[in-house]
Structure 1
Amino acid sequence: MNRSPRIASLLVLAALAACSRSEEKPPEVIRPVLSMVVEPKTIETFGFAGSVEPQYSADLAFRLLGRVVSRDVRVGDLVTKGTTIAALDPTALDLAVQASKADLSNAQAQFINAAASEDRQRQLLASANTSQATFDAAKQARQAAEAGVERANAALAKSQEQLG
Protein backbone atom coordinates (compact mmCIF):
# COMPACT_ATOMS: atom_id res chain seq x y z
CA MET A 1 0.00 0.00 0.00
CA ASN A 2 2.63 2.40 0.67
CA ARG A 3 4.47 1.11 -2.20
CA SER A 4 2.82 3.10 -4.89
CA PRO A 5 3.99 6.53 -3.69
CA ARG A 6 7.50 5.14 -3.36
CA ILE A 7 7.47 3.69 -6.81
CA ALA A 8 6.04 6.90 -8.20
CA SER A 9 8.73 8.98 -6.52
CA LEU A 10 11.44 6.62 -7.84
CA LEU A 11 10.05 6.94 -11.33
CA VAL A 12 9.95 10.73 -11.06
CA LEU A 13 13.57 10.75 -9.82
CA ALA A 14 14.68 8.48 -12.65
CA ALA A 15 12.89 10.67 -15.18
CA LEU A 16 14.51 13.80 -13.76
CA ALA A 17 17.94 12.17 -13.85
CA ALA A 18 17.43 11.26 -17.48
CA CYS A 19 16.47 14.87 -18.34
CA SER A 20 19.66 16.45 -16.98
CA ARG A 21 21.92 18.37 -19.33
CA SER A 22 24.97 16.66 -20.57
CA GLU A 23 28.22 18.72 -20.31
CA GLU A 24 30.15 16.57 -22.70
CA LYS A 25 31.52 18.26 -25.80
CA PRO A 26 30.90 16.72 -29.14
CA PRO A 27 34.02 15.16 -30.64
CA GLU A 28 36.07 17.56 -32.82
CA VAL A 29 35.92 17.01 -36.51
CA ILE A 30 39.34 16.40 -37.96
CA ARG A 31 39.82 18.58 -41.01
CA PRO A 32 41.57 17.07 -43.94
CA VAL A 33 44.89 18.71 -44.95
CA LEU A 34 45.22 19.70 -48.57
CA SER A 35 48.68 19.44 -50.05
CA MET A 36 50.25 20.10 -53.42
CA VAL A 37 53.52 19.19 -54.94
CA VAL A 38 55.28 22.32 -56.20
CA GLU A 39 57.70 21.75 -58.99
CA PRO A 40 60.01 24.42 -60.38
CA LYS A 41 59.07 25.54 -63.84
CA THR A 42 61.76 26.33 -66.29
CA ILE A 43 61.33 29.70 -67.88
CA GLU A 44 62.62 29.97 -71.36
CA THR A 45 64.47 33.16 -72.14
CA PHE A 46 65.44 34.31 -75.53
CA GLY A 47 68.19 36.77 -76.38
CA PHE A 48 68.12 38.95 -79.44
CA ALA A 49 70.75 41.32 -80.74
CA GLY A 50 69.65 44.66 -82.07
CA SER A 51 69.30 48.33 -81.35
CA VAL A 52 66.40 50.54 -80.39
CA GLU A 53 66.08 53.88 -82.12
CA PRO A 54 63.55 56.66 -81.54
CA GLN A 55 61.13 57.63 -84.24
CA TYR A 56 62.27 61.27 -84.09
CA SER A 57 65.58 62.56 -82.81
CA ALA A 58 67.39 65.87 -82.68
CA ASP A 59 71.10 66.53 -82.51
CA LEU A 60 71.77 69.21 -79.92
CA ALA A 61 75.01 71.06 -79.40
CA PHE A 62 75.93 73.39 -76.58
CA ARG A 63 78.49 76.15 -76.49
CA LEU A 64 79.13 75.65 -72.78
CA LEU A 65 80.05 72.88 -70.44
CA GLY A 66 78.50 72.61 -67.02
CA ARG A 67 76.17 70.83 -64.68
CA VAL A 68 72.46 70.95 -65.56
CA VAL A 69 70.47 72.36 -62.63
CA SER A 70 67.01 72.39 -64.21
CA ARG A 71 65.29 70.83 -67.17
CA ASP A 72 62.24 72.79 -68.27
CA VAL A 73 60.81 70.43 -70.90
CA ARG A 74 59.79 66.80 -70.83
CA VAL A 75 59.93 64.07 -73.42
CA GLY A 76 57.28 64.73 -76.03
CA ASP A 77 56.86 68.46 -75.31
CA LEU A 78 56.79 70.73 -78.33
CA VAL A 79 59.37 73.49 -78.21
CA THR A 80 59.80 76.56 -80.33
CA LYS A 81 62.76 78.77 -81.06
CA GLY A 82 63.83 80.62 -77.95
CA THR A 83 62.31 78.15 -75.48
CA THR A 84 64.56 77.45 -72.51
CA ILE A 85 65.25 73.73 -72.47
CA ALA A 86 67.64 73.50 -69.54
CA ALA A 87 69.65 75.72 -67.21
CA LEU A 88 73.29 75.25 -66.28
CA ASP A 89 74.90 75.94 -62.93
CA PRO A 90 76.47 79.42 -63.26
CA THR A 91 79.12 78.79 -60.59
CA ALA A 92 81.73 77.54 -63.07
CA LEU A 93 81.08 80.50 -65.37
CA ASP A 94 81.34 82.98 -62.47
CA LEU A 95 84.67 81.45 -61.52
CA ALA A 96 85.86 81.68 -65.14
CA VAL A 97 85.03 85.42 -65.18
CA GLN A 98 86.94 85.93 -61.93
CA ALA A 99 89.93 84.01 -63.30
CA SER A 100 89.85 86.08 -66.50
CA LYS A 101 89.83 89.30 -64.47
CA ALA A 102 92.82 88.06 -62.48
CA ASP A 103 94.66 87.12 -65.70
CA LEU A 104 93.94 90.59 -67.10
CA SER A 105 95.33 92.27 -63.97
CA ASN A 106 98.45 90.11 -64.20
CA ALA A 107 98.91 90.91 -67.90
CA GLN A 108 98.48 94.64 -67.24
CA ALA A 109 101.10 94.52 -64.46
CA GLN A 110 103.53 92.72 -66.77
CA PHE A 111 102.89 95.30 -69.48
CA ILE A 112 103.58 98.20 -67.09
CA ASN A 113 106.82 96.53 -65.99
CA ALA A 114 107.90 95.78 -69.58
CA ALA A 115 107.09 99.34 -70.71
CA ALA A 116 109.13 100.80 -67.85
CA SER A 117 112.02 98.46 -68.68
CA GLU A 118 111.90 99.51 -72.33
CA ASP A 119 111.97 103.21 -71.36
CA ARG A 120 115.03 102.61 -69.14
CA GLN A 121 116.79 100.70 -71.90
CA ARG A 122 115.95 103.48 -74.39
CA GLN A 123 117.54 106.09 -72.10
CA LEU A 124 120.59 103.86 -71.55
CA LEU A 125 120.90 103.28 -75.31
CA ALA A 126 120.76 107.04 -75.94
CA SER A 127 123.67 107.54 -73.53
CA ALA A 128 125.49 104.50 -74.99
CA ASN A 129 125.38 102.59 -71.69
CA THR A 130 123.57 99.51 -73.06
CA SER A 131 123.68 97.45 -76.20
CA GLN A 132 121.18 97.49 -79.04
CA ALA A 133 120.41 93.80 -78.35
CA THR A 134 119.40 94.53 -74.75
CA PHE A 135 117.15 97.37 -75.92
CA ASP A 136 115.61 95.13 -78.60
CA ALA A 137 114.92 92.42 -75.99
CA ALA A 138 113.17 94.98 -73.74
CA LYS A 139 111.15 96.25 -76.71
CA GLN A 140 110.12 92.69 -77.63
CA ALA A 141 109.15 92.00 -73.98
CA ARG A 142 106.90 95.10 -74.01
CA GLN A 143 105.23 93.99 -77.26
CA ALA A 144 104.67 90.49 -75.84
CA ALA A 145 103.18 92.00 -72.67
CA GLU A 146 100.90 94.20 -74.79
CA ALA A 147 99.71 91.12 -76.70
CA GLY A 148 99.15 89.38 -73.33
CA VAL A 149 96.87 92.25 -72.26
CA GLU A 150 94.88 91.96 -75.50
CA ARG A 151 94.58 88.19 -75.05
CA ALA A 152 93.43 88.62 -71.43
CA ASN A 153 90.86 91.22 -72.52
CA ALA A 154 89.52 88.81 -75.14
CA ALA A 155 89.36 85.95 -72.61
CA LEU A 156 87.48 88.18 -70.16
CA ALA A 157 85.01 89.25 -72.85
CA LYS A 158 84.45 85.61 -73.84
CA SER A 159 83.84 84.43 -70.28
CA GLN A 160 81.48 87.36 -69.61
CA GLU A 161 79.57 86.54 -72.81
CA GLN A 162 79.27 82.88 -71.78
CA LEU A 163 77.95 83.94 -68.38
CA GLY A 164 75.27 85.90 -70.19
Structure 2
Amino acid sequence: MFVKYVAVFAALAVFYGARSQGDLPVTQSCLGCICEAISGCNTTVTCAGDVCGPFRITWPYWADGGKPTVNQESPDSQTAFRNCVTDVYCAALTVQGYMNKYQQDCNGDGKIDCDDFATIHKLGGYGCKGVPLPEDYGARYQQCKQIVGQLQS
Protein backbone atom coordinates (compact mmCIF):
# COMPACT_ATOMS: atom_id res chain seq x y z
CA MET A 1 0.00 0.00 0.00
CA PHE A 2 2.47 2.65 1.13
CA VAL A 3 4.99 1.55 -1.52
CA LYS A 4 2.57 2.73 -4.22
CA TYR A 5 2.29 6.09 -2.48
CA VAL A 6 6.08 6.47 -2.37
CA ALA A 7 6.38 5.66 -6.09
CA VAL A 8 3.66 8.13 -7.03
CA PHE A 9 5.08 10.73 -4.65
CA ALA A 10 8.51 10.38 -6.28
CA ALA A 11 6.98 10.73 -9.74
CA LEU A 12 5.01 13.79 -8.67
CA ALA A 13 8.13 15.32 -7.14
CA VAL A 14 9.95 15.02 -10.46
CA PHE A 15 6.94 16.43 -12.32
CA TYR A 16 6.44 19.34 -9.95
CA GLY A 17 10.14 20.05 -9.88
CA ALA A 18 9.63 21.50 -13.35
CA ARG A 19 6.77 23.74 -12.13
CA SER A 20 6.69 26.56 -9.64
CA GLN A 21 5.21 25.40 -6.32
CA GLY A 22 4.14 29.02 -5.74
CA ASP A 23 1.04 28.66 -7.91
CA LEU A 24 0.15 25.20 -6.61
CA PRO A 25 -1.69 25.22 -3.26
CA VAL A 26 -1.25 21.51 -2.39
CA THR A 27 2.18 20.14 -1.49
CA GLN A 28 3.48 16.97 -3.10
CA SER A 29 3.28 15.04 0.16
CA CYS A 30 -0.29 16.20 0.71
CA LEU A 31 -1.27 15.10 -2.82
CA GLY A 32 0.27 11.72 -2.07
CA CYS A 33 -1.71 11.31 1.14
CA ILE A 34 -4.96 12.35 -0.54
CA CYS A 35 -4.25 9.80 -3.27
CA GLU A 36 -3.43 7.13 -0.70
CA ALA A 37 -6.56 7.86 1.34
CA ILE A 38 -8.97 7.92 -1.59
CA SER A 39 -7.78 4.88 -3.59
CA GLY A 40 -4.68 3.37 -2.02
CA CYS A 41 -3.01 5.42 -4.77
CA ASN A 42 -3.96 2.76 -7.27
CA THR A 43 -2.59 4.14 -10.53
CA THR A 44 -3.99 1.23 -12.55
CA VAL A 45 -7.64 1.96 -11.76
CA THR A 46 -9.65 3.50 -14.59
CA CYS A 47 -13.31 4.36 -13.95
CA ALA A 48 -15.95 2.89 -11.69
CA GLY A 49 -19.27 4.57 -12.31
CA ASP A 50 -18.72 8.31 -12.43
CA VAL A 51 -15.37 8.38 -10.57
CA CYS A 52 -12.04 7.78 -12.27
CA GLY A 53 -8.33 7.44 -11.66
CA PRO A 54 -6.11 7.31 -8.60
CA PHE A 55 -7.70 10.46 -7.13
CA ARG A 56 -11.27 9.15 -7.86
CA ILE A 57 -12.26 12.32 -9.74
CA THR A 58 -15.70 13.05 -11.21
CA TRP A 59 -16.39 15.09 -14.36
CA PRO A 60 -17.72 18.11 -12.38
CA TYR A 61 -14.59 18.06 -10.15
CA TRP A 62 -12.38 17.95 -13.27
CA ALA A 63 -14.33 20.84 -14.80
CA ASP A 64 -13.99 22.89 -11.58
CA GLY A 65 -10.29 21.98 -11.56
CA GLY A 66 -9.80 23.76 -14.88
CA LYS A 67 -10.16 20.83 -17.31
CA PRO A 68 -6.45 20.09 -17.68
CA THR A 69 -5.59 17.64 -20.44
CA VAL A 70 -2.87 15.24 -21.52
CA ASN A 71 -0.74 16.02 -24.60
CA GLN A 72 -2.60 19.24 -25.45
CA GLU A 73 -5.83 17.36 -26.08
CA SER A 74 -8.80 19.70 -26.37
CA PRO A 75 -10.80 19.83 -23.13
CA ASP A 76 -13.88 19.53 -25.34
CA SER A 77 -12.77 16.12 -26.64
CA GLN A 78 -14.98 13.24 -25.52
CA THR A 79 -11.91 11.47 -24.12
CA ALA A 80 -10.25 14.47 -22.40
CA PHE A 81 -11.77 13.86 -18.95
CA ARG A 82 -10.96 10.17 -18.81
CA ASN A 83 -7.47 10.59 -20.30
CA CYS A 84 -6.62 13.27 -17.75
CA VAL A 85 -7.95 11.79 -14.55
CA THR A 86 -6.48 8.35 -15.23
CA ASP A 87 -3.05 9.97 -15.74
CA VAL A 88 -1.52 10.64 -12.31
CA TYR A 89 0.16 13.89 -13.38
CA CYS A 90 -2.92 15.36 -15.05
CA ALA A 91 -5.12 14.16 -12.20
CA ALA A 92 -2.81 15.92 -9.73
CA LEU A 93 -3.12 19.12 -11.75
CA THR A 94 -6.89 18.73 -11.56
CA VAL A 95 -6.67 18.48 -7.76
CA GLN A 96 -4.45 21.58 -7.70
CA GLY A 97 -6.92 23.53 -9.83
CA TYR A 98 -9.86 22.41 -7.71
CA MET A 99 -8.09 23.41 -4.50
CA ASN A 100 -7.10 26.75 -6.00
CA LYS A 101 -10.80 27.40 -6.56
CA TYR A 102 -12.20 26.06 -3.29
CA GLN A 103 -9.40 26.37 -0.73
CA GLN A 104 -10.73 27.32 2.67
CA ASP A 105 -10.26 26.62 6.36
CA CYS A 106 -12.64 23.69 6.79
CA ASN A 107 -11.73 22.77 10.36
CA GLY A 108 -11.61 26.30 11.78
CA ASP A 109 -8.00 26.15 12.98
CA GLY A 110 -7.08 29.46 11.33
CA LYS A 111 -4.98 28.04 8.50
CA ILE A 112 -5.51 26.32 5.17
CA ASP A 113 -3.44 23.16 5.07
CA CYS A 114 -3.46 19.54 3.96
CA ASP A 115 -6.17 18.62 6.47
CA ASP A 116 -8.45 21.11 4.74
CA PHE A 117 -7.45 19.93 1.25
CA ALA A 118 -8.10 16.29 2.18
CA THR A 119 -11.52 17.26 3.49
CA ILE A 120 -12.35 19.35 0.42
CA HIS A 121 -11.24 16.53 -1.87
CA LYS A 122 -13.58 14.05 -0.21
CA LEU A 123 -16.53 16.28 0.73
CA GLY A 124 -16.41 18.95 -1.99
CA GLY A 125 -15.79 22.65 -2.14
CA TYR A 126 -19.06 23.54 -0.43
CA GLY A 127 -19.39 20.63 1.99
CA CYS A 128 -16.26 20.67 4.10
CA LYS A 129 -17.24 22.75 7.15
CA GLY A 130 -18.39 20.99 10.29
CA VAL A 131 -18.55 17.55 8.71
CA PRO A 132 -16.17 14.76 9.77
CA LEU A 133 -14.37 12.74 7.14
CA PRO A 134 -15.76 9.29 6.44
CA GLU A 135 -14.03 6.91 8.83
CA ASP A 136 -12.03 4.77 6.37
CA TYR A 137 -10.84 7.73 4.27
CA GLY A 138 -9.98 9.77 7.37
CA ALA A 139 -8.03 6.90 8.96
CA ARG A 140 -6.01 6.25 5.80
CA TYR A 141 -5.28 9.96 5.42
CA GLN A 142 -4.14 10.30 9.05
CA GLN A 143 -1.94 7.19 8.78
CA CYS A 144 -0.27 8.50 5.64
CA LYS A 145 0.20 11.95 7.14
CA GLN A 146 1.87 10.40 10.18
CA ILE A 147 4.22 8.27 8.05
CA VAL A 148 5.12 11.18 5.78
CA GLY A 149 5.76 13.35 8.84
CA GLN A 150 8.16 10.73 10.16
CA LEU A 151 9.93 10.53 6.79
CA GLN A 152 10.32 14.32 6.61
CA SER A 153 11.65 14.60 10.16
Q: Tell me which interval the TM-score lies in, with the shorter structure as reference length.
A: under 0.3
Taking structure 1 as the reference length, the TM-score comes to: 0.16
Larger Rg: 1
What TM-score does the superposition give when structure 2 sets the normalisation length?
0.17
Structure with bigger helix share is 2
